[in-house]
Amino acid sequence: MLQPYSRRHFLQTSSLLVAGAVVSSSFTSKKYTPHLSFSSLGCPDWTFTQIIDFAAQHGYTGLELRGILREMDLTKVKEFATEQSRKDTKQLMKDKDLRFVDLGSSATLHFTEGPERIKNLDEGKRFIDLAQHLDCPFVRAFPNIIPKGQNKAATMDLITKGLLELAEHAKGSKVSILLESHGDLVKISDLEMVMKAATHPNAGLIWDVVNMWSVTREAPAEAYKTLHPYIRHTHIKDAKVVTGAEPKYVLLGQGDVPIFEAIDALAKGGYAGYYSFEWEKLWHPELGDPAVALADYAKVMKAHFA
């Protein structure tokens, strides 16, 4: 026979378990609707108007900017160059029920002290300022490589310090600087080390699954398990992957990458950010028509969560 305390403890514990099961059941029974965006990297020859018209017509709600008409410095793009043009651009986005979700800077953080490092950090800061004007929550920065002859630990420290300097620039705003899993910083343990060292309310991570898996073959579920506290944004794509060769990008679900393992891990974990399609047409001109690829991505993602 249970003692009074034990019985009371048992009933309290049981009630908590039942309540937890109800919450869990409620969460899992609610349909998960992914937030979809795409990067303008995929349509380098489209005007800004073409980009937002296409996004609205195909059910996207977000837009990631990585150059317009091959101009990669967004602060020089006419739609963002003046206070009035930014105001007009924001109204166009609002009219299409779209929002900016990330500005893809080229700021690279592995450089040692000197003019190149200053130039890259200055770019990151200019993009942060632009993001604030555009009500865009995120700006991307690259880690990026471990140069030959440069100590790995020292390079990771440079990356960490650069990320923190940019986060401090964003402090007090609604903008965060996000480090993309990219270049030589793609191992789970390395990314975790940098992100732990760069803890800041205005710093986070862009999880590019292909950039990681194509090099390390570490399971996306394991990557999510370790890195989810830092993930604010994602780059989603698929590729045929052959060891020793560059990934060959293909339509979503037609490659070798366990991309849906990553997508499902995000969804089950309650990820509320954007799944941003990165069709790297600018860097890989041989890739197919962006209109086909971008329309296909929206269709496949919606079918996956139907």
How would you class 278 by CB atoms within 10 Å of its CB: exposed for 0-12, middle for 13-18, buried for 19 or more? buried
Query: pLDDT-derived band of residue 115, with 50, 70 and 90 as boundaries?
Result: very high
Sole residue written with tokens 């070798």: 256
More confident residue, 30 or 11: 30
Q: Which amino acid is at 142?
A: F
Contact 202, 170 (CB under 8 A): yes
pLDDT value of residue 23: 35
pLDDT value of residue 233: 98
> Can you tell me the mean pLDDT for 15-38?
58
More confident residue, 248 or 30: 248
Identify the sign of the CA torsion 238, 240, 246, 248: negative
To the nearest 10 degrees (0 to 180), the angle between helices 48-57 and 83-95 is 20
The Cα 251–Cα 305 span in angstroms is: 17
Identify the sign of the CA torsion 34, 37, 43, 44: negative
Question: What SS3 class is residue 116?
Answer: helix
The per-residue pLDDT for range 191-247, each reduced to its tens digit, is: 999 999 999 999 999 999 999 999 999 999 999 999 999 999 999 999 999 888 899
Joined together, the tokens standing for residue 48 give: 């800004």
**Greatest Cα pair distance in the chain:** 79
Q: Mean pLDDT of all residues in the chain? A: 92
> 108-132 burial by CB neighbour count: b if 16+ within 10 A, else e?
bbbbeeeeebeebbebbbbbbbbbb
pLDDT value of residue 277: 98
The per-residue pLDDT for range 40-59, each reduced to its tens digit, is: 999 999 999 999 999 999 99
Strands (E), 13-71: 35-39, 62-65
DSSP-assigned letter for residue 112: P
Contact 259, 253 (CB under 8 A): yes
Strand partners, 240: 248
The per-residue pLDDT for range 161-174, each reduced to its tens digit, is: 999 999 999 999 99
Joined together, the tokens standing for residue 207 give: 């999880």
Cα-Cα-Cα-Cα torsion 212, 282, 166, 110, nearest 10 degrees, comes to 60
> Can you tell me the mean pLDDT for 139-166?
97
Whether the predicted pLDDT of 12 surpasses 50: no
The per-residue pLDDT for range 133-146, each reduced to its tens digit, is: 999 999 999 999 99
259 membership: H or E segment, kind and range: helix 259-268
